[in-house]
Structure 1
Amino acid sequence: MSDERLVLTRGDITQVQADAIVNAANSTLLGGGGVDGAIHRAAGPGLLAECRTLGRCPPGEARITGGHALPAKHVIHAVGPVWQGGSSGEETVLARCYRRAFSLMEQHGLGTIAFPSISTGAYGYPIERAARIALREILAALQRMPTLQRVTVVLFSDRDLDVYQRARQALEPTPSA
């Protein structure tokens, strides 16, 4: 059965109104390219100043800050793995990013969250593999967290959206008639 609390969309994560958006951050938490740079630019200098107080964040972990000038109340900075061919524990690290983001949501009493496709840009994680891992973790969180009201995955391109939609169909088989 399809969970209506999971929304897949193409768009700009910096425009999403949610309790939290997830930043596909690097371990410095001080901004970078892609989604990370876009979130830092849209949030304004207060986000960078707050991130400077947090120190580094290792791959597979996450930290939470305020949303500053973003429509989202918080930013959860999740550091994904750099793709090294798939035999260096990348799947475990990527899955842990999603679990840590949901853990921070629970700790802070948040009900809505938006994710990008973590590690599939500059970090080179194949999006087909990343989509399956992301959706598996999101669907598991939706099952175990009754307070989770909505999870949005905001994708950069129509191709990325198509990959995630196909992965969702594979993970959420439609009921037989």
Structure 2
Amino acid sequence: MMTYGDDFPDFVAAAPGLEELPYLADVARLEAARTRAYHAADAEPLGPDAFAALDPAKLDRIAVTLHPSVEIVRSSHPVATIWAMNAGEAELGPIEDWAPEDAVVVRPALDVVVRRLPPGGAAFLGALGEGMTLDAAAETALSDARDFDLSRNLIGLIEAGLASALRGPSRRSKP
């Protein structure tokens, strides 16, 4: 039952009469991602201490395992804003900046959370999800978005509970 709606976004995208609502399929994709996140395996998200212990000189050998519930939804529409307004998480109103948005869906604890990603965030998380190291993922994100900010994206990764493990030489060398 939990995968029942997985094909619904494709149906919406092809449904006659919905051409004037091109963003609707992406909103349905976001909702399907929320359902999958809800049913994903539990895992303890890493806290700030795990990242504070990283040796910055070894970022080329450190990889991040994303939380099992993490899903990225990329859209050429302001999908996170539309979803938030319709979910009661943002005030209803006109969308001033009708621009593409990427969203991440995660369930680090009991509740599913949807967050709008900053520039390059989807590429960064996607690269981490493919097993790339932190520095390789940052390079991928910079290729995707010139204004990618590694610090901002790492803060979001930690705050949202998107990481569940670190792999590689993750501890600072003792003096």
Structure 1 and Structure 2 fold alike (TM over 0.5): no
What's the TM-score bracket when you normalise by the shorter of the two chains? under 0.3
Which of 1 and 2 has greater Rg? Answer: 2
Normalized per residue, the structure richer in strand is: 1
